Amino acid sequence: MNQASIERKVVIVTGGSKGIGEEIVRFLAKNGYEVILNYNSSEHRAKQIQKEIYDNYNNNIHIFKADVSKREEVKRLVNFCIAKFNKIDVLINNAGISEIKLFTQITDFDWNNMLQVNLTSSFYTIQESLKYMISVKSGCIINISSIWGTTGASCEVHYSVAKAGLDGMTKALAKELGPSNIRVNSIAPGIINTGMNKQFSDEEITRITEEIPLQKMGSTLDIARCIKWIIEDEYTTGQIIGINGGWNI
Ligand code: NAP
């Protein structure tokens, strides 16, 4: 381990191979953070991002395959981080899936899978990270939830439930972990321009954005900038920060 890696903040970003997670990885690496990009299926893309970041910012990020819906794989991810850097300063729970279905058509598999990937994964990553964070009385945890966790989305009940659960976890854990100097916050995006929204036609996107006061989708950079702010802040905890162009006013 070299001196630089001891001083730089170490961040795990789950689901860092696409969309919002990819931008968070890029933005933090550009700003000198030591980043572990977690991916599940998109290995080729993860390697491309790693190379792009090295070429552009001379920062050698690490990539690690783990399905965060599985406890054993999460353990391997966090153990990799501790073995490499002997610490984890920041955990960003970004990995997620979405699905549009009538409530009456959601199967037991759909329900369980949604909760496992979007909610239980954070139970695993946070528990495993706390084994280190509590011992040093320092840490920052950021959960990427969704506007739908607060307002509810028609035809996305299981998704809304998972994200509402994540926000509940954020608030409860902020209280439990505050005395250990560990901050826990959610970022709840509105609609962000990523592959997750590729099922919407251009007409549907136009109809959605007309409902948003700022009249546009958010960008992945909007989320990444807020992530950096939360990491660098020292007094914000238990908050659900809506980045949604005013959609929920
Ligand atoms: P995306 O482009 O579909 O990317 C999803 C990422 O999650 C991918 O990197 C994927 O990795 C990873 N992932 C999925 N399942 C995983 C698993 N079991 N283990 C590890 N990684 C897994 O989605 P996005 O739009 O960037 O969304 C990121 C987060 O923001 C999600 O939690 C989503 O719910 C939330 N969000 C998005 C929006 C939006 O409008 N885009 C709005 C509100 C909230 P692989 O490809 O390697 O499998």
**For ligand 1, what atom is nearest to the CA of residue 195?**
2
pLDDT tens digits, one per residue of 14-60: 999 999 999 999 999 999 999 999 999 999 999 999 999 999 999 99
Tell me: pLDDT of 232 over 50: yes
Task: Indicate the SS3 state at residue 36.
Answer: strand
Sign of the C-alpha dihedral computed for residues 77, 218, 247 and 152 taken in this order: negative
pLDDT tens digits, one per residue of 110-149: 999 999 999 999 999 999 999 999 999 999 999 999 999 9
* Residue 109, pLDDT score: 98
The more confidently predicted of residues 172 and 1 is 172
Q: Which residue's CA is minimally distant from atom 23 of ligand 1? A: 196
Left, alpha or beta for 93 (phi > 0: left; psi -120 to 50: alpha)? beta
Confidence of residue 5 (pLDDT cuts 50, 70, 90): very low
* Residue 7, pLDDT score: 80
* Residue 9, pLDDT score: 98
Is the Cβ–Cβ distance between 91 and 186 less than 8 Å? no
Tell me: pLDDT of 3 over 80: no
Confidence of residue 89 (pLDDT cuts 50, 70, 90): very high
Confidence of residue 1 (pLDDT cuts 50, 70, 90): very low
Give me 235's structure tokens.
């007094």
The response to whether residue 224 sits with its C-beta less than 6 Å from ligand 1 reads: no
pLDDT tens digits, one per residue of 152-169: 999 999 999 999 999 999
**For ligand 1, what atom is nearest to the CA of residue 217?**
40
The response to whether residue 120 sits with its C-beta less than 6 Å from ligand 1 reads: no
Examine the residue annotation and report whether 159 is marked as an active-site residue of this protein. yes
Task: Please give the mean pLDDT across all residues of the chain.
Answer: 97
Residue 206 alpha carbon to ligand 1 centre in Å: 23
Residue 213 alpha carbon to ligand 1 centre in Å: 25
Is the Cβ–Cβ distance between 160 and 152 less than 8 Å? yes
**Which one from 33, 39, 132, 159 is the annotated catalytic residue?**
159
Give the CA-trace dihedral at 91, 185, 135, 35, to 10 degrees: 20
Residue 113 alpha carbon to ligand 1 centre in Å: 14
Residue 95 alpha carbon to ligand 1 centre in Å: 4
Residue 94 alpha carbon to ligand 1 centre in Å: 6
The response to whether residue 129 sits with its C-beta less than 6 Å from ligand 1 reads: no
| Ligand 1 probe mutation, 97, 114, 120, most atoms within 8 A of CB | 97
